[in-house]
Amino acid sequence: MPARPVIDMEFSFTFFLNSVLLGAALAVDAFSVSAADAMAEPDMKKTRRLAIAGTFGGFQFFMTFAGWFVVSTVSHIFAAVRKFIPWISLILLLFLGIRMIAEGIKSMRAGSDAGSAGCPSAENPADPEKAPAGRKATGALALAFQGIATSIDALSVGFTASGLSVTAAAVESAIIGVVTFAICIGGVFVGKKFGDILAEKAEIAGGAVLVAIGIEIFVKALLDAGSPVWLIK
Distances in Å between the alpha carbon of 78 and those of 69, 74, 85? 11, 7, 11
> Domain of 83?
10-225
Residue 50's pLDDT band, with cuts at 50, 70 and 90, is very high
Is residue 36 in some structural domain? yes
Is residue 52 over pLDDT 90? yes
Model confidence band, residue 225 (pLDDT cutoffs 50, 70, 90) = low
For residue 10, pLDDT over 70 is answered with no
Is 219 inside any structural domain? Answer: yes
When pLDDT is averaged across residues 78-86 and rounded to a whole number, the result is 65
58 assigned to some structural domain: yes
Number of domains forming the structure of the chain: 1
Point out which residues pair with 121 in neighbouring strands: 124
Most confident of the ranges 68-72, 73-77, 115-119: 68-72
- Residue 1 falls within a domain, yes or no? no
124 or 149, higher pLDDT: 149
Q: Is the pLDDT assigned to residue 214 strictly greater than 80?
A: no
Ramachandran category for residue 97: left, alpha or beta (phi over 0 → left; psi -120 to 50 → alpha): alpha
Domain assignment present for residue 62? The answer is yes
CA distance to 32, 86, 165, per residue, from 147 (Å): 12, 14, 26
pLDDT at 128: 40
Residue 108 scores a pLDDT above 60: yes
20 within a domain of the structure (yes/no): yes
Kindly state the average pLDDT of the residues 209-231: 68
- Is 233 within the bounds of a domain? no
Chain mean pLDDT for the chain: 76
Closest CA relative to residue 192, chosen from 81, 4, 49, 10: 49
pLDDT of res. 171: 93
pLDDT of residue 174: 96
pLDDT value at residue 115: 54
**Is residue 4 in some structural domain?**
no
